[in-house]
């Protein structure tokens, strides 16, 4: 019997949080664009963009900060989406799965807030980062032990 | 009943376009390599590569342009693949799903063409970028409204 | 009948290797952090990190090398995870699927070893890179031929 149906509340929950995190990752591009336009004199990466906006090509610290936050999302959110999907197939309890999906989602929104929106001194960002990592590693452990014979 | 079977034409269509977009993303590495070899004197990132090809280590504008297009694919195509997969589970009509998959695929091929193959002035790239974003945001909206109770 | 169930040994095998590769991708962040702390005087990207560790903000060749290996994982492992998942749906033989999953996993672990842990001259890295690419392209070919009518 397939666990990947909208009747399974764990899959429904995964779908909901996957959409939320997918939206968050895509919107980082708009956050970068906002910074590029705010810093117009110095923050375009391509000659055609700089020309269109009468700006200059130069790297800018605030733009680079948002881009690092975006890359960090690719490094963490995209693996999560696949790991969490595979984890749904191991038949976890709804309570445990929902806790992990919410922990991860909260950690990643927090990460971007303290990294690229309101810059807050360390260890704020480290806590947010490890909150996400712990949720991922727990699910990886659950998958590997469920499927150890499939090596 | 699972919607993730080859009997479901929406899943079959997703599978086809996912393979196409996966291939496109992987081939960006070859496009970067082509630029590195064309610009041999100045475009390797590692000493061992430069040595092997009698080139130098230096960043080069045309190589960096292809690398930015590649990163933009990671930022947009990888979220699409997961969002579209989850969207298949909401049971959309075949016509609507196929339209979105084709719009996104066309937009991303166009994006790379105007960004990194034949450089075309803005707003060509912006149109291609937003074509992809709109397909993604529409699917995210459909998922969130389908699974709103799974919060 | 769904192929995405833990009863299907091909899906079980996919799940196992997906968890392994997910873990590997996440751990690249720790490898980067290790290099940043080893090179403390010159290798932090953010003022708040440098301040906390009494280091300086500067790019460093060894840190950048690990970051390039990490980006290369995002460019190759993340597409693999989705391509391999879709490939499971085409109903491949267990032997063939397991061979491809193992080839890819071995190639990517090798890639990081020769790129960022023990730097080994080319063509070691090129072999590892193309081992992964070949597994991906083979699966893409299998998907496209299976679903050619879903165009």
CB C53 within 8 A of CB C12: no
Q: What's the pLDDT band for B40 if we cut at 50, 70, 90?
A: low
Q: How many domains does the structure of chain C reveal? A: 1
Domain that residue A113 falls in: 9-150
Mean pLDDT of chain B: 87
Q: Which residues of A touch B (CB under 8 A)?
A: 2, 4-6, 9, 11-16, 18-20, 22-23, 25-26, 28-29, 45-46, 48-49, 51-52, 70-71, 74, 78, 81-82, 85
Extract the tokens encoding A59: 């790297």
Mean pLDDT of B46-54: 73
Answer whether B47's CB lies under 8 Å from B95's CB.
Answer: no
What is the distance in angstroms between the Cα of C61 and the nearest Cα belonging to chain A?
18
Q: Which residues of B touch C122 (CB under 8 A)?
A: 48-49, 51-52
Buried b (16+ CB within 10 A) or exposed e, B102-119: eebbebbebbbbbbbeee
Query: Given an 8 Å threshold on Cβ–Cβ distance, is C6 in contact with A76?
Result: no
DSSP states of chain B as a string? --S-STTSHHHHHHHHHHHHHHHHHHHHHHHHHHHHHHTGGG-BSSHHHHHHTT--B---HHHHHHHHHHHHHHHHHHHHHHHHHHHHTT---HHHHHHHHHHHHHHHHHHHIIIIIS---TTHHHHHHHHHHHHHHHHHHHHHHHTGGG-
> Which pair of structure tokens corresponds to residue B52?
């092997």
Which of A10, A19, A45, A76 to mutate against chain B (most B CBs within 10 Å)?
A19
pLDDT value, residue A63: 81
Q: Between C94-112 and C61-88, two packed helices, what is the crossing angle to 10 degrees? A: 170
Distance from CA of B118 to the nearest CA of C (A): 23
What's the confidence (pLDDT) of residue A107? Answer: 94
pLDDT in tens, B3-37: 898 888 999 999 999 999 999 999 998 888 878 77
A86 within some domain: yes
Cβ–Cβ < 8 Å for A80, A136: yes
Q: Which two tokens stand for residue B86?
A: 């989850």
Q: Check CB contact under 8 Å for A16 and B91.
A: no
User: Which residue, A16, A123, C86, C141, is CA-closest to B140?
Assistant: A16
Decide: C14 and C52 in contact? Cβ < 8 Å. Answer: no
**Alpha-carbon torsion, ordered B117, B118, B120, B123, to 10 deg:** -40
Q: What is the radius of gyration, based on Cα positions, of chain B?
A: 19
> What is the CA angle B21-B23-B26, rounded to 5?
110
With the CA atoms of A11, A16, A21 and A22 taken in that order, what torsion angle do they form, in degrees rounded to the nearest 10? 90
In 3-state terms, what secondary structure has residue C82? helix
Model pLDDT for residues C85-133, shown as the tens digit of each residue: 999 999 999 999 999 999 999 999 999 988 888 877 778 888 889 999 9
A92-140 confidence digits (pLDDT tens) = 999 999 999 999 999 999 999 888 888 777 788 888 899 999 999 999 9
Is residue C4 situated within a structural domain?
no
Nearest to C25 among A79, A122, A137 (CB): A79
Does C2 map to a domain?
no
Q: Which residues of B touch A28 (CB under 8 A)?
A: 75
CB atoms within 10 A of CB B35: 19
CA atoms of B79 and A70, how far apart (whole Å):
13
Residue C3 lies in a domain: no
Whether residue C49 has pLDDT greater than 80: no
Average pLDDT over residues B48-75: 79
Query: In the prediction, which pLDDT does C40 show?
Result: 65
Written as one string, the DSSP assignment of B42-55 is G-BSSHHHHHHTT-
Q: Is residue A3 part of a domain?
A: no
| A neighbour chains, 3+ CB pairs within 8 Å | B, C
Which residues, other chains included, contact B10 with Cβ-Cβ below 8 Å and sequence gap of 6+?
B3, B88, B91, B92, B94, B97, B98
Residues of B in contact with C144 (CB under 8 A): 16, 19-20
Burial grade of B95 (CB within 10 A; 0-12, 13-18, 19 or more): exposed
What span, in angstroms and rounded, lies between the C-alpha atoms of C43 and C57?
A: 6
Distance CA C120, CA C86 (A): 34
Contact between chains at A74 and C70 (C-beta distance less than 8 A): no
In total, chain B counts a number of residues equal to 151
Residue C1 resides in a domain: no
Q: At A127, list the tokens.
A: 């806590």
Check A147 against C48: CB less than 8 A apart.
no
Q: Work out the pLDDT band at A43, boundaries 50, 70, 90.
A: low
Nearest to C74 among A4, A75, A144 (CB): A75
Q: Which residues contact C2 (CB under 8 A, 6 or more apart)?
A: A2, A4, B2, B4, B5
Q: Which chains touch C (3 or more CB pairs under 8 A)?
A: A, B
Choose between B125 and A57: higher pLDDT. B125
- Pick from A83, A91, A147: CB nearest C16: A147
Name the residue among C100, A46, A29, A41 with its Cα closest to residue B67. Answer: A46
Token reading at B121: 């002035």
Nearest to A9 among B79, B90, B150 (CB): B150
Residue at A117 is within a domain = yes
Sign of CA pseudo-dihedral B119, B122, B125, B131: negative
Beta-carbon separation of A11 and B89 below 8 A: yes
CATH code of A51's domain: 1.20.120.550
8 Å CB contact of A140 and C23: yes
Q: Which long-range contacts link A138-142 to residues 24+ away (Cβ below 8 Å)?
A: A138/A100, A139/A83, A139/A84, A139/A86, A139/A87, A139/A100, A139/C19, A140/A83, A140/C19, A140/C22, A140/C23, A142/A87, A142/A90, A142/A92
Supply the ipTM of this predicted assembly.
Answer: 0.85
Which residue is associated with the tokens 């397939």?
Answer: A2
Percent of chain C with pLDDT over 90: 52
In a domain, B92, yes or no: yes
- Tell me whether residues C48 and A75 touch, CB distance under 8 A: no
Whether residue A110 contacts residue A131, with contact meaning beta carbons closer than 8 Å, is answered with yes
């Amino acid at each position: 019997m397939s666990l990947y149906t909208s009747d399974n509340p764990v899959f429904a929950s995964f779908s909901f949080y996957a959409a939320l995190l997918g939206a968050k990752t895509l919107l980082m591009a708009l956050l970068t664009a906002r910074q590029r336009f705010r810093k117009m004199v110095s923050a375009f990466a391509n000659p055609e963009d700089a020309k269109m906006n009468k700006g200059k090509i130069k790297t800018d610290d605030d733009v680079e900060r948002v881009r690092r936050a975006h890359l960090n999302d690719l490094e963490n959110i995209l693996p999560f989406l696949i790991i969490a999907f595979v984890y749904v197939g191991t038949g976890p309890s709804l309570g445990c799965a929902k806790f992990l999906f919410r922990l991860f989602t909260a950690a990643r929104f927090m990460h971007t807030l303290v990294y690229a929106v309101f810059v807050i001194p360390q260890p704020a960002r480290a806590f947010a980062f490890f909150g996400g990592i712990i949720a991922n590693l727990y699910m990886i452990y659950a998958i590997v032990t469920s499927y150890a014979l499939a090596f």
